[in-house]
Structure 1
Amino acid sequence: MSAAPTMLVVAKAPIAGQAKTRLAATVGDHAAARIAAASLLDTLDVVEGLGWPVVIAMAGDLDEAAEADELASACGRHRVIAQRGDTFAARLAAAHHDADSGHGVVQIGMDTPQVTTESLQTAAAALECYDAALGPAEDGGWWVLAVRAPGWASCLATVEMSRPDTGLRTKEALVRGGARVASVPIMTDVDVWEDAHAVASLIPHSRFAAEVARAAELERGHAQQIGSQP
């Protein structure tokens, strides 16, 4: 594609008790919210390095989020739009339409802070020859969807999210709609504590890794306290 695509980041305000609930089951609501905030901030650092227009489709109130001031500053450098739709899948499809500026859209979430500019450029480059590019996630979902035009993303509204076969179902829906679909290398997204450790090891000097280490230290202290009780 001759012009830069729009970089779309679909995000949820990292509010304690609402963000990363599966992660919170291990580390608690506040630690999970801090990890989610760090993940979003690291992700925004990466996408800013592309030099593409960035749109953030946000759900929730950032004023109530962990690291609210830093997030407000980081998000304020870009166009922020509200998510719309009755289901997550419908909100994804709508965000593609709302973000598009006529040069394609590359969409990720906030759960892959280890993402690199190179991996995003790979997804965008695929649009030279394909209508869409899809990057599978280790858990069976997907971490990136690039489309030449937002209409190709409309099929997302028919796909059930958060299933072990969501990635496969998404590709099938794209193909049924007539899209030529390229594959992008697989990546781990962060849903549970084990994912957080694995991803943190890939980006040891990141905000994300620092918050994972902080949460781990708090967990060790809590376990020791319980173990010392009579």
Structure 2
Amino acid sequence: MKTRIAATAGDDKALEIYKKLLDITQVTALSFSGDRLLYYDGAIQNDNFADTDFLKMSQKGKDLGQKMYNALSYALGFCQKAVLIGSDCPTITKEIIEEAFNGLDNQDVVIGPSKDGGYYLIGMKNAEWELFNNINWSTEEVLKATLNNAQKINKSVKLLTELTDIDTEKDWNDYLKKNNPK
């Protein structure tokens, strides 16, 4: 559930929004023809993500950086490139995901920046723990810190289109206004 949404909208509404975001993410992921891994925070749930469409895994790590590194590291154990997307960016498209994979042909890392200073997507060819190290997650400095880390370890970065992710009830309402005109 989205805790920052729950703070203003309540738990039930936050859960409803979270489920809608998951549904949108599922549709986008299914439009992409590559292998799809689905990571759960905690135990793997019975949900509407078909086992035939997604390899389901539990996240491993103490913070978001460790969880992302471990997910990418696992995927790169059997793929040449891996792209990680969150479930809180409903405007991500199949084309953006394809651009990320294609960008890895010429760059070490691809990042889809979000307007709040974080990112909705990160991809790479080699799992690099240093990219995720010493970052204060859920702050407006996440993208900047990640780019600084990439520079320190001499990794080239391609930035994708900046999008808005959904962190608050206002973000969700703004998304609905733009994408569900009456």
With normalisation by structure 2, the TM-score equals 0.90
What SS does the corresponding residue of 1:172 show, helix, strand or coil?
helix
What SS does the corresponding residue of 1:157 show, helix, strand or coil?
coil
Check conservation: 1:141, 1:165, Cα contact below 8 A: yes
Counterparts in 2 of 1:153 and 1:51: CA distance versus 1, 3 Å: farther
Specify every segment of 5 or more residues in structure 2 that has no aligned partner in the other structure, as ranges.
Answer: none
User: In the TM superposition, what is the alpha-carbon distance from 1:62 to its structure 2 partner?
Assistant: 5.5
Check conservation: 1:130, 1:181, Cα contact below 8 A: yes
Task: State the AA in 2 paired with 1:89.
Answer: G
Counterparts in 2 of 1:75 and 1:179: CA distance versus 1, 3 Å: farther
CA distance in 1, matches of 2:131, 2:144: 13
CA distance in 1, matches of 2:50, 2:152: 36
Out of 129-138 and 96-105, give the one that drifted further. 96-105
| Equivalent position of 1:144 in the other structure | 121
Counterparts in 2 of 1:128 and 1:40: CA distance versus 1, 3 Å: same
User: In the TM superposition, what is the alpha-carbon distance from 1:157 to its structure 2 partner?
Assistant: 3.4
Match of 1:37 among 19, 28, 51: 19
Counterparts in 2 of 1:154 and 1:200: CA distance versus 1, 3 Å: farther
| Equivalent position of 2:55 in the other structure | 79
Match of 1:159 among 135, 139, 152: 135
CA distance in 2, matches of 1:92, 1:166: 13
CA distance in 2, matches of 1:196, 1:98: 32
Match of 2:91 among 94, 107, 114: 114
Match of 1:28 among 10, 22, 42: 10
| Equivalent position of 1:187 in the other structure | 163
Check conservation: 2:130, 2:153, Cα contact below 8 A: no
Q: Which has the larger radius of gyration?
A: 1
Structure with greater helix share of residues:
1
Match of 2:145 among 146, 169, 194: 169
Mapped pair 1:131 → 2:108: yes
How many residue pairs end up in the alignment? Answer: 179
Q: State the 4+ residue runs in structure 1 displaced beyond 4 angstroms.
A: none
- The CA RMSD over aligned residues, in Å, is 1.8
Identity of aligned residues (%): 22
Deviations 1:94-119 (A, max 9, x none): 11111222321111111012211111
With normalisation by structure 1, the TM-score equals 0.73
User: In the TM superposition, what is the alpha-carbon distance from 1:25 to its structure 2 partner?
Assistant: 1.6
Check conservation: 1:24, 1:32, Cα contact below 8 A: yes
Specify every segment of 5 or more residues in structure 1 that has no aligned partner in the other structure, as ranges.
Answer: 1-18, 64-68, 206-230
CA distance in 1, matches of 2:164, 2:48: 27
